[in-house]
Chains A and B, each alone.
Chain A
Amino acid sequence: MDEAKRLVELIPRLRRYARALVGERASADDLVQDTLERAWTKLHLYRRGTDLRAWLFTVMHNVHVNRVRATRPVDPLEDEMPELAQRGTQADGLLVRDLDRAIARLPADQRSVLLLVTLEEMSYEEVARTLGIPIGTVMSRLSRAREKLRAMMLGQTPPSTKLKLVK
């Protein structure tokens, strides 16, 4: 089957993952757009017969990592920024907002592992390949991410929340 068409079919899944990863719709679609643009220019590097989905998620992962690095947002603007008048885009329910908040508090590398396993239902080998990390690392990140998420959703503090300097 033609990869180009497959790629288009995968857009909704890219959007789902991006939405959970960055926690907000417009930025998620910006990420998907950058990913698609990059994927088109790199499609000749994709090897036929290998897993296109894993390849595409790898592209997205790299784009995301670069964007995060590039816009390293100092600290969130929330305290300084006036609330924008909401324009009826409250499509996201309460649970989603709670999850968004909890997921956003996971360390970035644990977040991608958790979401690929949970949303994409990838096998651990696929996750390892997609993110370019050893499978043991996948397992330990997954385990830590789940425990933190569980603690947060129960309203407790996760076991080790030490503030850490991010480079």
Chain B
Amino acid sequence: MSEPISEADLQAYADGHLPEERRKAVDAWLASRPEESERIAAYRRLASEVRAAYNTMLSEPVPSRLTRVASAGLRWRRVAVVAGWIVLGILIGAPAGWYSRPERLVTQVVPADPSMIARRAAVAHATYSPEVRHPVEVGAEDEQHLVTWLSKRLGVKVRAPKLDDAGMSLVGGRLLPGENGPVALFMYQSQNGRRLTLYVRTEVPRNRETAFRYARENNVGVFYWIDREVGYALASADLTKDELLRLANLVYKQLESS
């Protein structure tokens, strides 16, 4: 008689990983145990359901942002072969740096954020960006008035960055309530209707970090940072992380130089 049937045997049986002889032993063991037999059958059914559910991913076209990363890798490898090891050391720095720099800038370590700015910004985005008739309180045609009004309410000078070169034009803005006072929300839109919101609020003086951080709240991606006494969060449900990062860089540069 062989060894007793273990739970590990049953798992391996369900996965078809058992050698022939052991499989037969499990067959015999299960034959007299209908409950166990049903349990293992259920595992097998679940496994094939899980495969069926996610296997569609295998035949889907790979999004271009992923193939871009991949082809960048291929490119530097080709260069590397030609250039040899010494030059390689220098070259790797360039393309690898190009792709990894945003990641470094976007600090991966996001400690518990007491200010919750990313969440608030995501909620605001989710609330107002689907609006067709009333996305903003004051439209871009009154930009000067909008900016003066919001600056006055927030108590700091705010302005709406110009993102037209990046394909995003200002729709307008509105005033929102925040935990520590009024918040300004600017909305932008691309020609094909993709929307972006910039959430601006004053910060308590102890938060003075300026590193970009990324968060995802449901379907809304948010880059946020704090610049001196003002916290910013750029949110969109329509843009990829890369696109959003590029815009966040633009916004940051414009506001910094103001």
Which parts of B26-71 form the interface with A (CB within 8 Å)? Answer: 39, 42-43, 46-47, 49-60, 62-63, 65-67, 69-71
Interface flags for B163-196 (1: CB within 8 Å of A; 0: not) read 0000000000000000000000000000000000
Nearest chain B CB to A29 CB, angstrom units? 6
Interface flags for B190-219 (1: CB within 8 Å of A; 0: not) read 000000000000000000000000011111
- Alpha-carbon gap, A141 to B59, bound state (A): 30
**Stretch binding the partner chain, chosen from B107-115, B141-149, B151-159:** B107-115
Indicate whether A108 reaches chain B with its CB closer than 8 angstroms. no
Q: Contact check: which of A20, A40, A93 meets B99 at CB < 8 Å?
A: A40
Q: For residue B127, which residues in chain A have a CB less than 8 angstroms away from its CB?
A: 82
Indicate whether A157 reaches chain B with its CB closer than 8 angstroms. no
Q: State the total of A-B contacts with C-beta under 8 angstroms.
A: 143
- Alpha-carbon gap, A109 to B67, bound state (A): 29
Q: For residue A99, which residues in chain B have a CB less than 8 angstroms away from its CB?
A: 49-50, 53
- Name the interface size band of chain B: 35 or more
Q: For residue A36, which residues in chain B have a CB less than 8 angstroms away from its CB?
A: 66, 69-70, 73
Which parts of B110-157 form the interface with A (CB within 8 Å)? Answer: 110, 112, 119, 122-123, 126-127, 130
- Name the interface size band of chain A: 35 or more
Majority secondary structure of chain A interface residues (helix, strand, loop or mixed): helix
Nearest chain A CB to B194 CB, angstrom units? 10
| Cross-chain contact B218 with A77 (CB below 8 angstroms) | yes
- Alpha-carbon gap, A82 to B129, bound state (A): 11
A26 (CB) vs chain B CBs: closest residue: B219
Interface flags for A98-121 (1: CB within 8 Å of B; 0: not) read 010001000000000001011101
- Alpha-carbon gap, A20 to B31, bound state (A): 34
Indicate whether A52 reaches chain B with its CB closer than 8 angstroms. no
Q: Contact check: which of B14, B62, B77 meets A4 at CB < 8 Å?
A: B77
Q: For residue B49, which residues in chain A have a CB less than 8 angstroms away from its CB?
A: 95, 99
Q: Contact check: which of A39, A81, A85 meets B218 at CB < 8 Å?
A: A81
Nearest chain A CB to B203 CB, angstrom units? 19
| Cross-chain contact B219 with A41 (CB below 8 angstroms) | no
B96 (CB) vs chain A CBs: closest residue: A41
- Alpha-carbon gap, A74 to B112, bound state (A): 8
Q: Contact check: which of A7, A19, A39, A153 meets B46 at CB < 8 Å?
A: A153
Nearest chain A CB to B159 CB, angstrom units? 28
Indicate whether B243 reaches chain A with its CB closer than 8 angstroms. no
| Cross-chain contact A67 with B108 (CB below 8 angstroms) | yes
Q: For residue B60, which residues in chain A have a CB less than 8 angstroms away from its CB?
A: 12, 15
- Alpha-carbon gap, A118 to B17, bound state (A): 12
- Alpha-carbon gap, A84 to B217, bound state (A): 11
Which parts of A60-92 form the interface with B (CB within 8 Å)? Answer: 66-67, 70-72, 74, 77-78, 80-85, 91
Can you list 30 contacts pairing A with B, beta carbon distance less than 8 Å? A5-B74, A7-B73, A12-B60, A13-B58, A16-B58, A19-B57, A26-B219, A26-B240, A29-B63, A33-B69, A36-B66, A40-B73, A40-B99, A43-B73, A70-B110, A81-B126, A81-B218, A82-B126, A82-B127, A83-B126, A84-B220, A95-B49, A95-B53, A118-B51, A124-B17, A139-B11, A143-B7, A143-B11, A146-B46, A149-B46
Q: Which residues of B contact A (CB under 8 A)?
A: 7-8, 11-12, 14-15, 17, 39, 42-43, 46-47, 49-60, 62-63, 65-67, 69-74, 76-77, 96, 99-100, 103, 108-110, 112, 119, 122-123, 126-127, 130, 215-221, 237, 240-241
